[in-house]
Amino acid sequence: MPTSTRRGNGSVAEPVARSPIAPAGPTGTRGAWEVSSAHSKAALRLADMTALSKVLVRGAPGEVAPLLCEHLRARREDGSLIVGTGPDSWLVLAPTGRSDAVSEMIASRLRGCTSLVTVIDVTHGSVVLRLSGESARRALEKVCAIDLSDRATPNGSSFRSRVAAVVSTVVRDDVDGDPSYLIVSDRSSGQFLFDALADAGQEFGIGLTGYPEQEI
Amino acid sequence: MIRIGGRVVAGPTRRIGPQPGEVIDRSRSLTFYWNGASRAAYDGDTISSALAAAGDRVLSRSFKYHRPRGILTATFHDPGCLVQVDDEPNVRASHRQVAAGMDVRALHSWPSLRFDVGAANQAVGPFLSAGFYYKTFIKPQRLWPAYERVLQRFAAGGRVSASSPHGDYDKRFAHPDVLVAGGGPAGMAAAIAAAEAGAEVMLVEEEHELGGHLRYGDEVALSRLQELRAAVAAHEQIEVLTNSAVTGRYDDNWVAVLQRSMPHVTERLVKARAKSVVVAVGLIERPYVFEGNDLPGVMLSSAVSRLVNLYAVRPGERAVVFTGNQSGEAAAAALERAGAEVAAVVDARRGGALLRARGRGGVTEVETGDGARVECDLLVTAAGWTAPTLLVNMTGVKPRYCDRAARFVPGDDLPSDVFATGGLVGDGDVDLLVEHGRATGLRAARRALETLDGHGPLTALPRLEPADHPALFRSRTHGFVDLSEDVSSKDLVSAAQEGYDSVELVKRYTTATMGPSQGKLETINTVAVLAESTGRTVAETGTTVWRPPHVPISLGALAGRNLEPVRYSPMQPWHEAVRARPIVAGQWIRPEHYGDPASEVRNVRENVGLIDVTPLGKLDLRGPDVPRLLNFLYVNKWSKLDIGSVRYGVMCGEDGVVADDGVTGHLGPDHYFMSTTSSGASAIYEWIENWLQTTFTDWSVHVTEMTSAFASINVAGPNSRELLRRLVDDVDLGPDAFKYMQVRQGTIAGVANCLMWRIGFTGELSYEVHVPAAFGLYVWEALMAAGADLGVGPFGLEAQRIMRLEKGHFIVGQDTDGLTQAFTAGLDWLVKLDKEDFAGRPELVWQSERSDELRLVGLQPTDPTVVPPEASQIVSGANEIEGRVTSSRFSPTLGRSICLGIVSADLAHAGTVVTVKQPDGTRVTARVMEEHAHFDPAGERLRG
Amino acid sequence: MIRIPCPHCGPRNSDEFSYIGEEKRRPGPDTSPTEWRTYLYSKSNPAGWTTEQWFHAAGCGKFIVAERHTVTNEVRATRPKPRFERSNAGAEAGGGSS
The DSSP output letter for A157 is: B
In this complex, the residue of B263, B574, B785 whose CB is nearest that of residue A6 is B785
Q: Do residue B251 and residue C1 have CB atoms under 8 angstroms apart?
A: yes
pLDDT in tens, B852-892: 889 999 999 999 999 999 999 999 878 899 999 999 999 99
Degrees to nearest 5, angle at CA B432 with B427 and B434: 110
Same domain assignment for residues A135 and A193:
yes
Contact at CB, B705 and A145, closer than 8 angstroms: no
- Contact pairs from chain B to chain C, CB under 8 Å: 55
| Cα gap B261→B238, rounded to integer Å | 20
Residues 6+ apart with CB under 8 A from A77: none
Quick one: which of A172, A211, A165, A170 has its CA closest to A192?
A: A165
Residue that finishes a domain, picked among A75, A93, A124: A124
Would the CB atoms of A162 and C62 count as touching at under 8 Å? Answer: no
Task: Give chain B positions within 8 Å (CB) of C36.
Answer: 842-843
**Residue A110 pLDDT level (bands cut at 50, 70, 90):** very high
Domain boundary among B329, B352, B382: B382
Residue B769 and residue B816: Cα distance in Å, rounded? 28
**Domain finish residue from A69, A104, A124:** A124
Task: Identify the CATH number of the domain in which residue A159 sits.
Answer: 3.30.1360.120
Tell me the pLDDT of chain C (98 aa) as tens digits.
999 999 999 999 999 999 999 988 899 888 999 999 999 999 999 999 999 999 999 999 999 999 999 999 999 988 887 633 333 333 333 333 33
Q: Could you tell me which chain C residue has the CA closest to the CA of A163? A: C58
- Do B631 and B767 belong together in one domain? yes
Contact list in B for residue A141 (CB cut-off 8 A) is 172-174
* CB spacing of A87 vs C16 below 8 angstroms: no
Domain end residue (candidates: B347, B382, B417): B382
Does A101 lie in the same domain as A77? yes
User: Which of residues B743, B775, B803 is at a domain's end?
Assistant: B803
Tell me: do A135 and A202 sit in the same domain.
Answer: yes
Domain containing B586 — which CATH number? 3.30.1360.120
Do B613 and B757 belong to one domain? yes
CB B365 within 8 A of CB B373: yes
SS3 B541: helix
H helices of B535-646, where?
Answer: 538-541, 555-559, 572-577, 597-606, 626-633
d(CA B648, CA A34): 38
Residue A78 domain-assigned (yes or no): yes
Beta bridge pairs of residue B368: B354
Nearest Cβ partner for B837 among C29, C63, C85: C29
Which segments in chain B show pLDDT lower than 70?
Answer: 1-12, 108-140, 147, 149-157, 452-457
* Same domain (yes/no): B584, B684: yes
Q: What is the CATH number of the domain that holds B176?
A: 3.50.50.60
Homologous superfamily in CATH for domain C3-89? Folate-binding superfamily (3.30.2270.10)
pLDDT at B263: 79
The whole-angstrom separation of Cα A138 and Cα B405 is 45
Question: Which residues have CB under 8 Å from B293's CB, separation 6+?
Answer: B287, B357, B381, B479, B480
Determine, for residues A124 and B773 on separate chains, whether the beta-carbon distance falls below 8 Å.
yes
Domain assignment of residue B920, yes or no: yes
Is there a domain that residue A189 lies in?
yes
- Alpha-carbon span A152 to A162, nearest angstrom: 17
- In whole angstroms, give the CA distance from residue B333 to residue B380: 12
Instruction: Give the range of the structural domain holding residue B917, as residue numbers without chain letter.
Output: 810-943
Chain C residues lying within 8 Å of A71, measured CB to CB = 8-9, 60
**How many angstroms separate the CA of residue C72 from the nearest CA in chain B?**
9
- Contact residues for C7 (Cβ-Cβ < 8 A; gap 6+): C64, C78, C79, C80, C94, C95, C96
Residue B736 and residue B627 share a domain: yes
Domain membership of residue A183 (yes or no) is yes
Torsion angle of the four alpha carbons B304, B310, B314, B316, in this order, in degrees rounded to the nearest 10: -20
Could you give the number of structural domains in chain B?
4
Chain B residues within an 8 Å CB radius of C27: 842
For the four alpha carbons of B598, B604, B607 and B609, in that order, the dihedral sign comes to positive
| Per-chain mean pLDDT for chain A | 93
Cα(B478)–Cα(B491) distance, integer angstroms: 10
Q: For residue B129, give the amino acid letter.
A: S
Residue, of B714 and A10, whose pLDDT is higher? B714
Write down the domain spans for chain C. Answer: 3-89
Q: Is residue B149 part of a domain?
A: no
Whether residue B709 and residue A19 make contact (CB cut-off 8 A), yes or no, is no
pLDDT at residue B152 in the model? 63
Q: Which amino acid is at B320?
A: V
Residue B346: its H or E element: strand B341-347
User: What is the domain-level CATH number for residue B371?
Assistant: 3.10.20.440
Residues of B in contact with A144 (CB under 8 A): 173
The span from the CA of B844 to the CA of B837, in Å, is 11
Do A154 and A194 belong together in one domain? Answer: yes
Distance, CA of B676 to CA of B588 (rounded, Å): 15
Q: What is the DSSP string of B452-498?
A: S--SS--PPPPP-BPPP----SB-SS--EEETTTTEEHHHHHHHHHT
- Peptide bond just before B549 cis, omega within 30 deg: yes
Q: Are residues B423 and B334 in the same domain?
A: no
Residues of B in CB contact (< 8 Å) with C are: 250-252, 254, 273, 396, 654-655, 686, 689-690, 693-695, 697-698, 836-837, 841-843, 846
The answer to whether A203 contacts B264, with C-beta atoms less than 8 Å apart, is yes
Give the burial class of B763: count Cβ atoms within 10 A of its Cβ; 0-12 exposed, 13-18 middle, 19 or more buried: buried
| CATH value at residue A62 | 3.30.70.1520
Give me the sign of the Cα torsion angle B32, B37, B39, B45.
negative
Whether the CA torsion B872, B828, B688, C38 is positive or negative: it is: positive
Q: Do the domain assignments include residue A83?
A: yes
How far is residue B471's CA from residue B478's CA, in Å, rounded to a whole number?
16
Tell me whether residue B772 is in a domain. yes
Nearest to A173 by CA among A125, A109, A130: A130
**Closest residue in chain A to residue C61, using alpha carbons only:** A86
pLDDT greater than 50 at residue A95: yes
Q: Nearest CA to B528 among B383, B369, B325, B381?
A: B383
Q: What's residue A189's pLDDT?
A: 97
CA dist., res. A18 & res. A32, Å (int): 9
Shortest alpha-carbon distance between residue C3 and chain A (Å): 12
Last residue in a domain, options A105, A124, A143: A124
Mean pLDDT of A7-35: 84
Q: What is the pLDDT of residue A3?
A: 47
**A34, A121, A188: best to mutate for the B interface, most B CBs within 10 A:** A188
Q: Are B161 and A128 in contact (CB under 8 A)?
A: no
Quick check: is A76 in a domain? yes
Whole-number Å distance between alpha carbons of A103 and B843: 44
Three-class HEC string of C11-71: EEEHHHCEEEEECCCCCCCCCCHHHHHHHHHCCCCCCCEEEEEEECCCCCCCEEEEEEECC
Does A69 share its domain with A113?
yes
Residue A3 resides in a domain: no
- Best residue of C34, C74, C81 to probe chain B, by most B CBs closer than 10 Å: C81
Q: Is A20 helix (H, G, I), strand (E, B) or coil?
A: coil
CA distance B938 to B941: 9
The answer to whether the CB atoms of B774 and A123 lie below 8 A apart is yes
Q: Is B487 inside a domain boundary?
A: no
CA A44 – CA A65 distance, rounded (Å): 34
The whole-number pLDDT of residue B135 equals 66
Q: According to the model, what pLDDT value does residue B150 have?
A: 64
Report the Cα B778 to chain-centroid distance in Å: 42
- As beta bridge partners, residue B342 has B319
Is B871 part of any domain? yes
Residues of B with CB below 8 A from C73's CB?
Answer: 251-252
Instruction: Please report the pLDDT score of residue B411 as a whole number.
Output: 86
Alpha helices, DSSP H, located in B592-751:
597-606, 626-633, 681-690, 720-727
Cβ separation B774–A124 shorter than 8 A? yes
A205 and A130 fall within a common domain: yes
Q: Are both B181 and B302 inside the same structural domain?
A: no
Q: Do A132 and A205 belong together in one domain?
A: yes
Angle at B101 between CA B97 and CA B106, to 5 degrees: 70
pLDDT reported for residue B3? 42
SS3 A79: coil
Q: Given a contact as 3+ CB pairs under 8 Å, which chains touch A? A: B, C
Considering only CA atoms, give the Rg of chain A: 18
**Would residue B351 count as lying in a domain?**
yes
Instruction: Clarify whether residues A149 and A165 are in a common domain.
Output: yes
Task: Give the gap in angstroms from C-alpha A89 to the nearest C-alpha of chain B.
Answer: 10
Same domain, B639 and B692: yes
Residues of C at the B interface (Cβ-Cβ below 8 Å)? 1-3, 13, 18, 20, 26-27, 29, 31, 33, 36, 39-40, 53, 55, 57, 61-63, 72-73, 81-82, 84-85
- Shared domain for B250 and B339, answered yes or no, is no
CA distance B788 to B722: 12
Give per-residue pLDDT as tens, A143-166: 999 999 999 999 999 999 999 999
Specify if A18 maps to a domain.
no
Residues A85, A43 within the same domain: no
Domain extent for A142: 27-50+125-209
A116 located within any domain: yes
How many separate domains does chain A show? 2
